[in-house]
Amino acid sequence: MHRADLGFIGLAVMGQNLVLNMERHGYAVAVYNRTTTRTDEFLERNPGLKLIRAATLAELVDRLARPRIVMIMVQAGPAVDAIIADLLHLLEAGDLVIDGGNSHFKDSDRRAAYIQAQGLDFLGVGVSGGEEGALWGPSIMPGGARAAFVRVEGLLTAISAKAPRDQAPCLAYMGPRGAGHYVKMVHNAIEYGDMQLIAEAYDLLHRGLGLTNAELADTFAEWNEGELDSFLIEITAQIFRAMDPLTNQALIDVVLDKAAQKGTGKWASQDALDLGAPIPTINAAVVGRILSSLKSERIQAADRLPGRADGQWTGDREEGKAAIRDALYASKISAYAQGMALLSTASAEYGYELQLGEIAAIWRGGCIIRARFLEDVMCAYQRDRILPNLLLDPAISAAVGARLPSWRRVVSHAVLMGIPVPALGTSLAYYDSYRTARLPANLIQGQRDLFGAHTYERIDRPGNFHADWSR
């Protein structure tokens, strides 16, 4: 009997498309899904391919060439543990288990130790690119033992996206244990930041400057030709053009303003707080989604709360648009600086040995945050591998500096108009805090020492001091 190169568990949309991607690159894949009708429908829709049906996990394992490779792509959480527990009864030492779902990095840390202790290999692999990416080439972030990665490097290279400029595969070994899922989590967190920033720019263009949907589509399409060139800006332009077949209005105008979340942004915020790593733009994006979900309260508050705004957008409309574009770009740089700094802190704390330049390189194509800007991020870390903060790179800081007047103008206009810009605002506050040599934290230390004798350090001599503040 012909044996499959790989066994695949979980045939939701991402799983199906990854399987088709592998098959297109010449791999024979045995497929299994808990609900068998899903497997059958998938095979019926895709006849004549090198796909082998498995009705049970035992059948799947039985169909595989040795040493076996099994990839799991199911709902993150207990389902993954349950499948691994079943697989461990069926597999043998030397086999490789890959978790390609959106698992929490701590689960991957735990599973790596547990599976490796049984003599099997484990990889926790972050995959980004949505349905299209899974089919035509995602960005792939594998973590685990390097030797395990080497076993599937050829396969993962084949199915990965290729970066636009140099056609380099959007795949690199990230580091041990949960390193791949950590990087995927931060990828998603940056995606949250990008989306919130773009949404705030939309609000300012629409409510502040009065742009119509057609004008918004043209504006974002134009921005996509310049330094903001990215997947998210491109789809934003597309969204403003879509019409609703039910009402014949612009589709965007009938979409309810409540944003959902699956939790990776929250995970990043939670872990960043644990690590003491500031990622305020991402936090603002997570909170922004939570606030958006309070729709009925917001409707009531809209009637009850005064919001007297002191300003209209003054000045030229084209100038206003350009300023918003600049503020968006500078904020995006600030958000990426926060995300990269989080990666660097986490790498030290968890021993992930992350290479920030390589991470930027493999985000250039395939994934949801793919953007021309990531080429600049990659170059910054090529110039200085241990750059403490992206903002300190000379080219990046010059790019921010050139946009600073617009950035300040846009945030202050927004505040005066009463249009909420939590992400644009806090991105700027992060930048201003980071470049302030003496923050008012001396007062906080004074307060802590006065009420709780927590002591303070001095600027002129070493040691910890406690003062009698009533003197």
Residue 44 is a catalytic residue: no
C-beta separation of 125 from 142 below 8 A? yes
Mark the segment that binds ligand ATR (CB under 6 A) among 12-20, 205-213, 282-290, 447-455.
Answer: 12-20
User: Rounded CA gap, 246 and 180, in Å?
Assistant: 42
Task: Output the CA–CA distances (angstroms, integers) from residue 117 to 47, 114, 122, 441, 457, in the order listed.
Answer: 40, 5, 10, 47, 47
Q: Which is nearer to ligand ATR, 12 or 392 (CB)?
A: 12
Beta strands in 311-385 (DSSP E): none
CA distance 470 to 242: 66
Q: How far is the CB of 19 from ligand ATR (least distance, A)?
A: 11
Please pick, from the candidates 19, 20, 74, 197, the single residue that binds ligand ATR as defined by CB under 6 A: 74
| DSSP 8-state symbol, 143 | E
Q: Among residues 7, 10, 133, 193, which is the contact residue for ligand ATR, using CB under 6 A?
A: 10
Count the neighbouring beta carbons within 10 Å of the beta carbon of residue 185.
Answer: 27
- Establish if 259 lies at the interface with ligand ATR (CB under 6 A): no
| 184 labelled catalytic | yes
In the complex, minimum distance from the CB of residue 262 to ligand ATR, in angstroms, rounded to a whole number: 8
Query: The tokens of 462 are what?
Result: 């070493």
Q: Is 53 in the site for ligand ATR (CB under 6 A)?
A: no
For residues 111 and 136, the answer to whether their CB atoms sit within 8 Å is: no
Distance from first CA to last CA of the chain, Å, rounded? 89
In whole angstroms, what is the distance from residue 236 CA to residue 233 CA?
5
Q: Which stretch binds ligand ATR (CB under 6 A): 33-41, 140-148, 205-213, 406-414?
A: 33-41
Contacts of 229 (CB under 8 A, 6+ apart): 371, 372, 373
**Site for ligand ATR contains 55 (CB under 6 A):** no
CB of 72 to ligand ATR, least distance (A): 9
Which residue number, 14 or 277, has a Cβ lying nearer to ligand ATR? 14
Which of 59, 92, 191, 321 is catalytic? The answer is: 191
75-104 binders of ligand ATR (CB under 6 A): 75, 79, 82-83
Q: E strands along 191-293, which residues?
A: none
Does the protein bind ligand ATR through residue 12 (CB under 6 A)? yes
State the minimum distance, in angstroms, from the CB of residue 24 to ligand ATR.
21
Q: Point out which residues bind ligand ATR (CB under 6 A).
A: 10-14, 33-35, 38, 74-75, 79, 82-83
Q: Active-site residue numbers?
A: 184, 191
